[in-house]
Amino acid sequence: MNRGVRIIKELSRREIVRETLHAIAGSPCRCPAHSSGILNSSIPPRHRQTSSDSITTDYAYETFSPSVRIGKGATREVGMDFVNKGVKRVLLFTDKNLIKLLPFKATADALRADNVEFDVFSEVRIEPTEKSFREAIHRAQMRQYEGFLAVGGGSVMDTAKVARLFDAYPEKDFFDFVNKPVGKGEPIFKQLKPLICIPTTSGTGSETTGVAICQMESINAKTGFSNRALCANLAIVDPLNALSMPKNVAIYSGFDVLCHALESFTNIRYDNRSPKPLNPLHRPQHQGANPISDIWAVETLKIINDNFLGSIESLFDQESSAQMSFASLLAGIGFSSSGVHLCHAISFALSGSVKDYCPSDYSNDHPIIPHGLSVVMTAPAVFKEVALVAPDRCIQLAGLIGANTNNIKTEDAGRCLSDQLCKIMNRLEIPNGLKSLGFSPEDIPMLVEKTLPQERITRLYPNKVTSSLLERILLNSMTVYN
């Protein structure tokens, strides 16, 4: 038996033993009952007796994703897609940078070729806010559209998702659908009009998810909308659209993909999560790591390992860039069912507390910490902590992103994964820690306070999330490498 097969068998054996012990001991309640709209549905539960009724943790998981079309040049089909859906008038969302570039031009040409009438909303804010979401909602309600189209990165796609939601619910208040506890997290029952997403970054995977994120001015942190109903009807992943990404956009969105996969793979397992829903409608969108999300995460990391550096460092390496578009999609499909954990939860506090950081390659009309940058900043410290409870998984992850894991002991798992992350961050010249984004140790209590309510995400961390855990991670992230 070769070493690789032996390691995989050993890992599976250890996981089975751990899970059996866990099931015998009963697991702590990590109640997700205050999260997504679906979970908090007012539909009365219908409970059927099953053999697993005495166990309080979940026993099943559910995956979903939109139709996905992948192909160089596939943008040209989008006019036909709307015609095929019987849609003749759409509102096209993009941003004021992209409207000048090829992805927008290719889309507009495709719509014109098939006589699909369209208006353009190019005022999408990069890293959207409650205010910018409201402006987009207002614009969508000014005219009757039959469908919606997003051409852009996560900022554009998330904005289109929310505008389309309130097109169906003009009578509702913005906070009716915002995640609890900031909003009411109400369920979405109406059929929304068709939405097609054409991503232009290789990062968020928003084209596959039922999530839309914005900066909430009222709490100075990010949160948003999370409900499967928000998911697009079709994602067109055309690698040609990502070729014009500026260097920092490609780097930071690539780190977003990397963290989606790392966090998805190390989430609490779906069958360690409580409570087991009494009605499948109440099973949350993000259910923890599961065998299907694991497949997407592992594949994503293999692609990243082979292509991330090449896609950045070798200009005109179209094949690596196309592979990164694919990785972004795979990671998105994976975390759509499993979710993400602490790097993302903390990133929402960091981005929401930006001081005067204005990265190059982003539209510089307001300070922002780009999403992928805010996420990866704490990753080395987060995974040192994760390794204390999931060392085998962390060793596997370190190997997948290029570390030599021969003879790595369990107690060195965190250091191994963290060092490998720092190596990649250093090579791509990521700013060195939270200090370089303008934060100091005095900001830690404020950042902890803003992270703790992100319960929708923190509950997926594989261990209890405490203030002292967050303080340690933030302190260790002030400077990332020497």
Ligand X SMILES: NC(=O)c1ccc[n+]([C@@H]2O[C@H](COP(=O)([O-])OP(=O)(O)OC[C@H]3O[C@@H](n4cnc5c(N)ncnc54)[C@H](O)[C@@H]3O)[C@@H](O)[C@H]2O)c1
Binding stretches for ligand X (CB under 6 A): 95, 97-98, 101, 103, 126-128, 152-156, 158, 200-201, 203-206, 209, 211-213, 241-242, 244-246, 249, 253, 256, 362-363, 371-372
Q: How far apart are CA 17 and CA 168, in angstroms?
A: 49
**95 is an interface residue for Fe ion by CB under 5 A:** no
Beta bridge partners of 212: 225
Dig out the tokens for 310 from the structure: 């090449």
Q: From the CB of 344, what's the least distance to Fe ion, in Å?
A: 6
Q: Does the protein bind Fe ion through residue 271 (CB under 5 A)?
A: no
Smallest separation, CB 209 to Fe ion (Å): 9
Q: How many CB atoms lie within 10 A of CB 7?
A: 16
Alpha-carbon distance 471 to 448, whole Å? 7
The smaller minimum CB distance to Fe ion, of residues 130 and 256, is found at 256
For CA atoms 51, 56, 62, 63, the dihedral sign is: negative
Q: Which is nearer to ligand X, 272 or 454 (CB)?
A: 454
Look at residue 36 and give the partner it binds from Fe ion, ligand X, none, a contact being a CB closer than 5 to 8 Å depending on partner kind: none
Q: CB of residue 372 vs Fe ion: minimum separation in angstroms?
A: 7
Nearer to Fe ion, 95 or 256 (CB): 256
Return the exposure string of 168-194: e unless at least 16 CB atoms fall within 10 Å of the residue's CB, then b: ebeeeeeeebbbbebbbbbbbeeebbb
Instruction: Report the C-alpha gap between 262 and 386 in whole angstroms.
Output: 11
Residue with the shortest CB distance to ligand X: 154
Backbone dihedral region for residue 307 (phi beyond 0: left; psi -120 to 50: alpha; all else: beta): alpha
Shortest distance in whole angstroms from residue 377 CB to Fe ion: 12
Closest separation in Å from C-beta 209 to ligand X: 4
Specify the residue, 213 or 469, whose C-beta has the smaller distance to ligand X: 213
CB 58 within 8 A of CB 273: yes
Q: Under the criterion CB under 5 A, does residue 207 sit at the interface with Fe ion?
A: no
For β-strands 211-216 and 221-226, DSSP reports them as antiparallel
State how beta strands 117-121 and 89-93 pair. parallel
Q: Residue 455's binding partner, choosing from ligand X, Fe ion, none, with beta-carbon cut-off 5 to 8 A by kind?
A: none
Sign of the Cα pseudo-torsion (217, 352, 213, 34, in order): negative
| Total interface residues for Fe ion by CB under 5 A | 1
* Residue 206 binding target from ligand X, Fe ion, none, CB below 5 to 8 Å by type: ligand X
Q: How far is the CB of 261 from Fe ion (least distance, A)?
A: 11
- How far apart are alpha carbons 42 and 282 in whole angstroms? 10
Q: Which does 245 bind (CB under 5 to 8 A by kind): Fe ion, ligand X, none?
A: ligand X
Q: Which is nearer to Fe ion, 37 or 332 (CB)?
A: 332
Measured between alpha carbons, how far is 33 from 307 in angstroms, rounded to an integer? 39
Shortest Cβ 52–ligand X spacing (Å): 31
Residue 158 makes contact with Fe ion by CB under 5 A? no
Q: Which residue has the tokens 């909602």?
A: 137
Cβ closest to ligand X, residue 185 vs residue 205: 205
Whose Cβ is closer to ligand X: residue 242's or residue 324's?
242
- Give CA torsion, residues 173, 228, 378, 216, to 10 deg: -10
Report the partner that residue 159 touches, choosing among Fe ion, ligand X, none (CB closer than 5 to 8 A by kind): none
Distance of closest approach, residue 125 Cβ to Fe ion, in angstroms: 17
Q: Does 77 bind Fe ion (CB under 5 A)?
A: no
Write down the least CB distance from residue 256 to Fe ion, Å.
4
Among Fe ion, ligand X, none, what binds residue 32 when CB lies within 5 to 8 Å by partner kind? Answer: none
Residues 116-145 as x/- pattern, contact with Fe ion by CB under 5 A: ------------------------------
263 binds Fe ion (CB under 5 A): no
Specify the residue, 41 or 226, whose C-beta has the smaller distance to Fe ion.
Answer: 226
Q: Select the binding partner of residue 249 from ligand X, Fe ion, none (C-beta < 5 to 8 A, by kind).
A: ligand X
Token pair 């390496």: residue:
317
Write each residue from 228 to 257 as x if it is in contact with Fe ion (CB under 5 A), else as -, in one continuous string: ----------------------------x-
CA–CA dist 350, 345 (Å, integer): 9
Cα–Cα distance, 344 to 254 (Å, whole number): 14
Distance CA 472, CA 156 (A): 34
Which residue, 51 or 316, is less far from ligand X as judged by CB?
Answer: 316
Q: Is 300 exposed, middle or buried (0-12, 13-18, 19+ CB in 10 A)?
A: buried
If you write DSSP's letter for every residue of 104-139 in order, what string do you get? HHHHHHHHHHTT-EEEEE--PPSS-BHHHHHHHHHH
- The CB-of-215 to ligand X minimum distance in angstroms stands at 8
Site pattern 441..480 for Fe ion (x: CB under 5 A): ----------------------------------------
> SS3 helix, strand, coil % of the chain, rounded to 5?
50, 10, 40
State the angle between helix axes of 318-338 and 291-313 in degrees (0 to 180), rounded to the nearest 10: 150
Least separation, in Å, of the C-beta of 154 and Fe ion? 7
For the chain, what's the residue count?
482
Using the minimum distance from each CB to ligand X, give the nearer residue, 225 or 384.
225
Binding site for Fe ion (CB under 5 A): 256
